[in-house]
Structure 1
Amino acid sequence: MSREGGSAGAQPNAEGRKPVTETVTPSPARRGRWAGPAPERAGFGGRFTTATSLGSVLNPVNSSIIAIALVAIGRSFGVGADATTWLVSALYVATAVGQPTAGRLADLFGPRRIYVAGSMLVGIGGLTGFLAQSLTVLVIARVIIGLGTSAAYPAAMAMVRRQSERLGTPAPGGVLSALAIAGWTSMAVGPPLGGLLIAIGGWRATLIVNVPLAAISLLCALLWLPADERRERGTSSRLRTFDPAGMVLFAVVLISLLVFLMDLTSPRWWLLGVSVVLLGVLIGWELRNPTPFLDVRMLATHRALTTTYLRYAVTMLVTYCFLYGWTMWLEQSAHFSSSATGLLMVPCFVVAAAGSALIARCGVWGPLLAGTVALTAASASLLLLHADSPLWLLVATSVLFGLQNGLNAVSNQSAMYRQAPASHTGSAAGLLRTFSYLGAIASASLISLTFGAQAEDHGLHHLALILTVGSAATILTVAFDRELRRKPTPAKLPDHGK
């Protein structure tokens, strides 16, 4: 019998009762207009890949587009840089907390539902920001956008996993690499897009652009992504397994840690102490909870997954130090214009996108080892730079960082996908993004510590030395990891009855 018939067409068993099944795929006749195609029809084709990748574009676009609008927003509301930076921090914090939360919800209620809900939130946040008459409302809008954009990536990873289980075949490497390419490409597009929108319609255009982008993402999800499975357990039963207390504790721990990392030049040690104490409370709570929000036992048992999180945090720390620190040095020490600095970043993003596409089918261990070596080499290359360095050396540095971006983004994502339990794919993917934002926020403080008031050669070299040591440590996490060398096991249909 075809699996597509679901439980509605199941035959009685030997005892005269219909077998209980949790996954039900409606027949074409019963499929609604917005239910999406059958899993077998969607496969891992271009429409499925496009739909899952589109939503992942929204977060990096909103992360980078705001940088161009901060000055104009400050003038509009009569506030300084110390106030407008909350627009950046608000999205980072909302995203860092929202990614694992959205992933947990995707695992419980279905990734397509959460993906759709996230797209709707992005549209609401964009409209709220466009209509904002105060900086406070604008910050709230950025929080809404951050929470909405948090849904796409973990939900997309969970959909890839479930589609793999439905079809009984491993997910193609191209699908996973498309998610990484979408993120890096959209991050590069953000600043020039922001400049164009401000020229056309002022800073408010950078907010309202989320409405059409969210609408396109929503429409593609409804038309091209298969519907989630029906569940035996009701909504109330699944809500009881969500662990809201664990979520709140996790959010408070993360927010206090992020605020501490935002200013290491004059550290507020009491915040770090609060983070440590609350982390202990969180761990104790989750260990006693049969359905924890943050599965501490899973992290302790799957040490390779925990290592991947830490490695990715270091990788993103280095990457963002390059994106923000190197560009700052180019303008303040090498005396390049903003436009010339932007052009020097182009090789980085082009090589990153090309590298991500090329290694899509090359396994995990090899590209990851090459990526960590490239990360170390790129960090060390900053030691060679001086204010009068030739142009070819600057271009080579940009290319080298682009190479490590492409290798590490896809291979760490693939490692997480392989190492995470199938039932926790969404929350595991969200937590991966949380660690990336920890690295991003820590990079700003590290740049401040090493550069001081002016980005000069000695500050760049001090930063490079720290980054090189940290990068070298990531090589060890890969070189001796036997699990990463193993071939992935074939996908199996989930047994939800257990």
Structure 2
Amino acid sequence: MTDTRAETAPESDKPGLDRRLLAPMMLGSVLNPINSTIISVALIPIGRALGAPSSQTAWLVSALYLATSLGQPVVGRLIDIFGPRRLFLLSTGLVGVAGVVGTLAPGLGVLIVARILLGFGTCAGYPAAMALLRSEAERTGKDNPGGVLTALAVSNQTIAVVGPLLGGLLIAVGGWRATFALNVPLAVAAVLMGLLRLPRPARTGESSRRGRLATRLDLPGMGLFAATLTSLLLFLMNPHPRDWYLLVIAVAAGAAFAARELRAAVPFIDLRVLGGNTPLLATYGRALVTYVVSYAFLYGFSQWTEEGYGLTPFRAGLVQVPMFLLAIGASVVSGRRKGVRGKLLIGAAGQIAACLLMLALTGRSPLWMLLLVALIFGVPQGLNSLALQNSVYFQADPGRTASSAGLLRTFAYIGSMVASSATATSFGQRADTGGMHQLAWVMLGAGVLYLLLTLLDRTLGRGATEEASAAT
């Protein structure tokens, strides 16, 4: 009798999400974007202090995203197996170590190492949040995560607002090293919240689980995945015919990875399931191209406003504030509205319009034109990330939510690597207006491709995406 009443209880009588989880979920997920946005206004001061041109300081961006691209799906898979608590604590602790290394770094090489550590350290936040959301849905019987997914998106956008501004302020007060030191208190806060609020994993079957650990982890698959992605991204960082061997390694390792995963009993990435999940593959493709545009603007436009237009780092951060404020508004307004296709189409149109306006900018353009470009970019910034995030939550295999979320970030960071390479190639020794225009053409091409991928995707509006729309 009791069981029957529980099964037929109205939705409103079921327990809701444990609100204590929201703070660690949000803080963990923003560790990566805050380091992404702060560095955007620190590249020029770091280059001047260490005597490094833009083509070399670009490695500070590439190093973080190389590490994160590799680490997100691996850590996500570990979270799927062990639960979020352990991986969250280890990763966020590493963020604090990276903050110390970066603060004390004597040169660019050690700074790059610090950014690599930050990349691995920030890997767990987003997959852990998605895994917690899935486990709470199973515990409560409510799988309507629209509000929490929107909160995650808004928190990331809020940090993106604060990041460039805070970066400029920290540089003005304590120099560029203060942008690395900030990670120490953030890591301490994240670890404490994780210890106090994240649920401990169940101890049942612990010995048998350890006995099957090697099989469940698919270490050979992870190793081949790492070899494939690392060689590919190293080539994308600075594409040149002399580095052809990197592409050969990527193809060979990729073929071996595919063969391994198709034979493995418990694969790291189930290619058979992923290959049959057309909506999820389309979402990953859109993530790659939209983040080419997004990160090229974040880093390239910021460098040009400082070096080509003559703004201070603090004022360069202020120029980006309208973008992130409008992005927050777009996320909040659209967060609980049904439909994904409309958000993606509007986001694509916003990217194209902003890129066209960038081509009209010069070193003598009025400041309001820079603010207008940033404002227009705010629309796709808010809509695209939310739509992609919601899509993956509903399109992915529930048992692989964390690793699928990590793989979304991997595709996004591959896009960021393309953007970083395009930025370094366009600017060379100096971020001048000609280089900015060259970069804008690359961004425009990616924006048009994003629009075509959305227009031609027949899976939008039905299947997994339709299910996501109904839930939100």
TM-score after normalising by structure 1: 0.80
Q: Does 1:419 align with 2:398?
A: no
Question: 1:168-210 deviations in whole A, cap 9, x for unaligned?
Answer: 2123322112222333332443344345445655655444432
The answer to whether the 8 A contact 1:257-1:272 is kept is yes
1-structure distance, mates of 2:435, 2:101: 41
1-structure distance, mates of 2:97, 2:204: 29
Q: Does 1:148 align with 2:127?
A: no
Aligned to 1:10: none
Secondary structure of the residue aligned to 1:44 is: coil
Question: 1:58-99 deviations in whole A, cap 9, x for unaligned?
Answer: 1122334345666777898x7745776654443222211111
- Residue 95 of structure 2 aligns with an amino acid whose one-letter code is V
Question: 1:383-432 deviations in whole A, cap 9, x for unaligned?
Answer: 34344444443322211101110000100111111111111111111111
Offset at residue 106 of structure 1 (A): 0.7
Q: Does 1:470 align with 2:443?
A: no
1-structure distance, mates of 2:191, 2:387: 28
> Measured at CA, do residues 2 and 190 of structure 1 come closer, stay the same or move farther in structure 2, by a change above 3 Å?
farther
> Measured at CA, do residues 238 and 366 of structure 1 come closer, stay the same or move farther in structure 2, by a change above 3 Å?
farther
Q: Does 1:358 align with 2:322?
A: no
> Measured at CA, do residues 389 and 482 of structure 1 come closer, stay the same or move farther in structure 2, by a change above 3 Å?
same
- Residue 96 of structure 1 aligns with an amino acid whose one-letter code is S
> Measured at CA, do residues 103 and 2 of structure 1 come closer, stay the same or move farther in structure 2, by a change above 3 Å?
farther
Q: Structure 2 residue aligned with 1:403, among 379, 389, 398?
A: 379
Q: Does 1:59 align with 2:59?
A: no
2-structure distance, mates of 1:320, 1:216: 28
The answer to whether the 8 A contact 2:60-2:111 is kept is yes
2-structure distance, mates of 1:48, 1:454: 45
The answer to whether the 8 A contact 1:109-1:238 is kept is no
Q: Structure 1 residue aligned with 2:270, among 295, 301, 304?
A: 295
Q: Could you say which structure has the higher helix fraction?
A: 2
2-structure distance, mates of 1:385, 1:74: 24
Offset at residue 217 of structure 1 (A): 1.7
1-structure distance, mates of 2:157, 2:332: 12
The answer to whether the 8 A contact 2:422-2:442 is kept is no
The answer to whether the 8 A contact 2:30-2:159 is kept is yes
Aligned to 2:98: 125
2-structure distance, mates of 1:293, 1:336: 47
Taking the TM superposition and a 5 Å limit, the aligned residue runs for 1:297-316 are: 297-316=272-291
The answer to whether the 8 A contact 2:18-2:136 is kept is no
Q: Does 1:377 align with 2:370?
A: no
Q: Percent identity?
A: 44
2-structure distance, mates of 1:281, 1:464: 37
Offset at residue 265 of structure 1 (A): 6.3
> Measured at CA, do residues 89 and 482 of structure 1 come closer, stay the same or move farther in structure 2, by a change above 3 Å?
closer
Question: 1:285-315 deviations in whole A, cap 9, x for unaligned?
Answer: 1111121112222221112211111111110
Offset at residue 47 of structure 1 (A): 3.5
With a CA cutoff of 8 Å and minimum separation of 6, indicate the structure with the bigger relative contact order.
2
> Measured at CA, do residues 236 and 134 of structure 1 come closer, stay the same or move farther in structure 2, by a change above 3 Å?
farther
Larger Rg: 1
Aligned to 2:72: 99
The answer to whether the 8 A contact 1:121-1:148 is kept is yes
> Measured at CA, do residues 195 and 183 of structure 1 come closer, stay the same or move farther in structure 2, by a change above 3 Å?
same
Aligned to 1:485: 461
The answer to whether the 8 A contact 2:165-2:314 is kept is no
Aligned length: 454
2-structure distance, mates of 1:463, 1:131: 33
2-structure distance, mates of 1:137, 1:51: 29
> Measured at CA, do residues 391 and 195 of structure 1 come closer, stay the same or move farther in structure 2, by a change above 3 Å?
closer
Taking the TM superposition and a 5 Å limit, the aligned residue runs for 1:6-85 are: 43-44=16-17, 46-66=19-39, 80=52
Q: Structure 2 residue aligned with 1:159, among 132, 147, 155?
A: 132
Aligned to 1:180: 153
Q: Structure 2 residue aligned with 1:246, among 221, 224, 233?
A: 221
Taking the TM superposition and a 5 Å limit, the aligned residue runs for 1:184-199 are: 184-197=157-170
The answer to whether the 8 A contact 1:168-1:491 is kept is no
Aligned to 1:24: none
TM-score after normalising by structure 2: 0.84
Q: What is the RMSD computed on CA atoms of the aligned residues? A: 3.3
- Residue 376 of structure 1 aligns with an amino acid whose one-letter code is I
> Measured at CA, do residues 196 and 474 of structure 1 come closer, stay the same or move farther in structure 2, by a change above 3 Å?
closer
- Residue 320 of structure 2 aligns with an amino acid whose one-letter code is M
Q: Does 1:261 align with 2:240?
A: no
> Measured at CA, do residues 187 and 268 of structure 1 come closer, stay the same or move farther in structure 2, by a change above 3 Å?
farther
Query: What 5-or-longer segments of structure 2 have no aligned partner?
Result: 4-13
2-structure distance, mates of 1:337, 1:490: 43
